[in-house]
Chains A and B, each alone.
Chain A
Amino acid sequence: MTILRLGILFSTSGDYGVLGRDCRDGAMIAIEELRGVSSVSIEPVFGDPGGSSERYIELARKMLLEDGCRHVIGTVTSQARKDVIPVIEKHDALLWYVCPYEGFEANPNVIYTGACPNQHLLPLFEHMLPVYGRRVYLTGANYIWGWEMNRLAREIVTEAGGEVVGERCLPIGDTDVDRIVAEVVARRPDFILSNMLGPSNHAFLRAMRELGRRDPAFRPERCPVVSCDLTECELPEIGFGVADGQLAAASYFDSLDSVANRVLKAQVATQFGSERRVSSYFATSYATVRLCVEAVTRRGTDDPVKVRSALSALETPGPLGLLRIDAATNHASLPFLLGRISGADFVILQSRPATAADPYLIHRRTAAQPRSAQPHLRIVS
């Protein structure tokens, strides 16, 4: 029997612990489901770095050196991923990364099953700009995700002839959103992109709710807050109803109607109770563990090079649809869904079939940019 020692490295405590807990739980459900069924014996090794870079590195090193792991599923933030990658590279292991991120990376030792901008931000803005308008306010967490998503959003808005009416980032964990709200009031954007994380984002959504009560011009139907990382798992923390009407892009929502999703949700209800919703973090982590185990099964070994080489021939069905990894980029093809918050759920407003990831956005100018947007104005030399 092939043994797969799988490092499960998510910050389940700390500022964004709720995301890490969904990632961990998704992985655990997959492991439970495969126990006794799969020809691979999965031995999970858990680690909670609590959001600290040093702990991420220490725990990754321990998993690879002491626990005998050659595969690690984990890291939530891009900061953590970039901290862990050198350790993974050094030991010729594979990191399975399941969260949406800002792109501009394609490491041979990482399998990316979270969406990158051509799978979330670009289609989101293609929808938002014509429908709501081209005056946009940008907010984000003060680290690479917030910076890069806002930079890209600014490029898209400017190219479309629109205007970024303001931009402000908050340190992770900071809930002092008054200044952002004051700027929103003064500058009256058509919509707001939030790349904030956890408590900052929750405070901001609560403040926008208050603002909408005072002035209907700032209600979600007129001036929505959109994001690429807000999912079901944060709605209980924000408070049900508080963020109703706000929008989010994701490659999965709990409300998705498919056979594979009903199967997953039934298991989640058994394990965690019927109140528990499945987020894209949860579902992606679940699907990624299944994919990893399938590749290990095919090759009969957990050798990372062999496992990676098995991926491109696999099309594993699951809650995200058919999960396929591109051999060149190591990224998953993923669908795009646009959801509107309603209570504990997202109502799916729009969906697009799975698209291959374009991590360096090399096809953006030709594919996503409308012909009318004066492509000759760019200096290319």
Chain B
Amino acid sequence: MKGTLSFLGKRAIILHRPGDTTDRLVRQCLLLGLCAEARWRPLRAVEDVDIVLVDADEGWDELLPWTSAEKPAPLVALLASEAPGRIAWALDQGADALIAKPVTASAVYPALVMATRRHAEARQLNERIARLEERVRLRPLVHAAVRTLMTVDGCDENEAYGRLRREAMQTRLTLEQTAASILASAQRHAG
């Protein structure tokens, strides 16, 4: 990701009324090795696309088949207006970068690189947040397992937590999964 980004063989869809703007965008996309299609009708969710450019001046919600959170590809907003409503629309769609209209040739490559990078980073962050949320959700299990170990082994809280961690590392499971299995086996013994 740190090196020079290559767009060779990737597919771009430009959602914009055909004209000078789309001509310029298609030209620069082709130079970058992208296969580019310009059109002014909604994208379908099943379509295979690597990067989407959308007209934020006239765009409407149904133009894009996903919400900002589920956005599967980098999104670049094309904007001539300074109207706060249009900027908000671009942000709500999850735009990763902006190209001001009228489009100058030198604006395209930087925006595509920035959008690609931002989209990848956002995706990684979301995955990380999901993992952490899952762990927070299962925190009570860990507490319960520590209390169980304290009772069964007659040790203090630090020692019990240390055992739980060692066990998790040795079995290559998460702390939460290990806690669940300790609780399950304690319940079996108790039952």
Contacts and interface: CB of A to CB of B under 8 A. Distances in A.
Interface of A: 82, 85-86, 89, 104-109, 152, 155, 328-329, 359-366, 378-379, 381
B161 interface: no
Given A328-B30, A379-B1, A362 B105 contact: no
A202 to B, nearest CB: 31
B106 A381 contact: no
Contacts of B6: 361-362, 364-365
Given A328-B31, A359-B31, A379-B1, A106 B8 contact: no
Contacts of A109: 105
A75 B63 CA distance: 44
Given A85-B106, A360-B109, A362-B8, A106 B1 contact: no
Contacts of B1: 379
Contacts of B104: 86, 89
Contacts of B177: none
B106 A360 contact: no
A361 B32 CA distance: 8
B158 interface: no
B125 to A, nearest CB: 14
Interface string B5-19: 011100000000000
Contacts of B4: 152, 155, 361
A55 B6 CA distance: 36
The 4 residue pairs across chains A and B that have the minimum distance between CB atoms = A362-B33, A107-B105, A362-B8, A106-B31
B25 to A, nearest CB: 12
Q: Which of A82, A104, A105, A360 is most buried by chain B, counting CB atoms within 10 A of its CB?
A: A360
A106 B32 CA distance: 10
A329 B109 CA distance: 14
A132 B185 CA distance: 66
B8 A363 contact: yes
Nearest to A106: B31
A265 B17 CA distance: 54
Nearest to A361: B4
A147 to B, nearest CB: 13
Given A106-B31, A360-B31, A362-B33, A381 B8 contact: no
A152 B32 CA distance: 17
19 contacts: A85-B106, A89-B104, A105-B105, A106-B28, A107-B106, A108-B24, A108-B27, A109-B105, A152-B4, A155-B3, A155-B4, A360-B31, A360-B33, A361-B6, A362-B6, A362-B33, A363-B8, A364-B6, A365-B6
Contacts of A107: 105-106
Nearest to A158: B3
A108 B3 contact: no
Given A108-B27, A360-B31, A378 B3 contact: yes
B120 interface: yes
Contacts of A364: 6
A108 B105 contact: yes
B120 A329 contact: no
Nearest to A360: B32
A104 B33 CA distance: 13
A219 to B, nearest CB: 34
Interface string B83-122: 0000000000000000000001110010000000000100
A104 B109 contact: yes
B122 to A, nearest CB: 12
Contacts of B7: 362
A141 B149 CA distance: 65
A360 B120 CA distance: 21
Nearest to A105: B106
A89 B33 CA distance: 24
A86 B4 CA distance: 25
A104 B32 CA distance: 9
A365 B104 CA distance: 28
Contacts of B109: 104, 360
A360 B32 CA distance: 6
A363 B104 CA distance: 24
Interface in B21-71: 24, 27-28, 30-33
Nearest to A366: B8
B24 to A, nearest CB: 8
A108 B104 CA distance: 9
A368 to B, nearest CB: 12
Contacts of A108: 24, 27, 105
Contacts of A359: 31
